[in-house]
Amino acid sequence: MPTIKDVAQRAGVAISTVSAVINRSAPVSEEVIQRVEDAIAAIGYLPHGAAKALRSGDSRLIGLILPDITNPFFSTVARVIETVCMRAGYMTFVYNTDEDVDHEMRILKMMRAQRVAGMILISTRSDAEHGQRLMSEINVPTVLFSSNVPATPYDAITLNEAKASRIAIDYLAGLGHRRIGVLSGRPHVSTHEERLEACLDALRAHGIEPQAELIVAANFDQSQAFEACRALLALPEPPSAIFAFSNLMMVGMMRAVVSSGLACPRDISLVGIGDFEWPEIMNPQMTVVSMPAAEMAECAIETLLDQIASKRPPTGRRIMFDPRLVIRESTAAPLVPLPA
């Protein structure tokens, strides 16, 4: 059986560095992490705990694969899942994909090497081709979270994305906004696709024909949302309200409004999907379509632990949680309502 020394030699690093990568016990560069993970996958090395689990047939490890642990929503999810796992006698490994498909595949190979008992995965893509890649790498009970991959057999725990968009657009249109900007997410991800489709349908339902110049992809990224919002505000006829598909993009919007010398909600109304732990520290406090992060996370880990204990195959079902509109200070009727 390959040893940690073999991994170190193949990756060209010290044994202590391999240990740091496996146990996340010391800072290691992304380039070195990739070399070590590639070496582990190539030679089939099993860390001590995984080898013991393989011999006993009883792993107590749960893999949690997130796009960005710095996002408050995913931080809450990780905390809840870790707590439930601890109560059930499991340890949690948390990995970030940084929205990188290839890195996601490397992490899944690492999960195989660690012989995890099961995984909760927020996938980087939702298309059928990526679904096939996932199924080729996953060999343990797995629950999808937040984004759905319809081409796979895994159970999925998600927000009712269509309802979230409808709530936001209905509210803004009800205030009298007719020129509504949209900061959308990342193509090929169900969270983005479903929110965008419902957003466009809701606009049309209010007699507002969507305009391409007002719909900008910001890839769920704060910096890109900042640039996209600046561009919207600089239009000859800027929007009177902007709807963002995520909480991090809302932060980018707020920065853009301030840097443009505008005031919210006097000059522009802002609303987004996803809340913050301390909304009261923001000025203005943000109107949001809130997601029940803790309840969704509990459902995901309980679904996974049930699959592990019962050894039942996944049903491919999708459990959707309802969003809730939280009205605060960042939205108001437009100063000069545009004609219908």
pLDDT of amino acid 338: 47
- Report whether pLDDT(336) > 70: no
Overall average pLDDT of the 270-295 stretch: 88
pLDDT of amino acid 249: 94
Overall average pLDDT of the 146-175 stretch: 96
pLDDT of amino acid 23: 65
Question: Among 1.10.260.40, 3.40.50.720, 1.10.150.450, 1.10.150.20, what is the CATH number of 1-45?
Answer: 1.10.260.40
Q: Which CATH superfamily is domain 54-159+294-321 in?
A: Response regulator (3.40.50.2300)
1-45 and 54-159+294-321: identical CATH topology:
no
Digit-coded pLDDT (tens) for 68-88: 888 888 989 999 999 999 889
Q: Which residue has the higher pLDDT, 14 or 319?
A: 319
Banded model confidence at residue 15, pLDDT cuts 50, 70, 90: confident
Which range, of 10-24, 100-114, 229-243, averages the lowest pLDDT?
Answer: 10-24
What pTM value is reported for the model?
0.81
Q: Which residue has the higher pLDDT, 31 or 177?
A: 177
b/e 206-233 (16+ beta carbons within 10 angstroms → b): eebeeeeebbbbbbbbbebbbebbbebb
Domain boundaries, the chain: 1-45, 54-159+294-321, 161-290
Whether CATH 3.40.50.2300 fits 161-290: yes
Helix (H, G, I), strand (E, B) or coil at 289: strand
Beta bridge partners of 325: 289
Short-list 175, 272, 269, 188, CA closest to 222: 272
Banded model confidence at residue 296, pLDDT cuts 50, 70, 90: very high
Rg of the chain on CA atoms, in Å: 22
Q: Which residue has the higher pLDDT, 99 or 119?
A: 119
State how far the Cα of 6 lies from the Cα of 73, in Å rounded to an integer.
Answer: 39
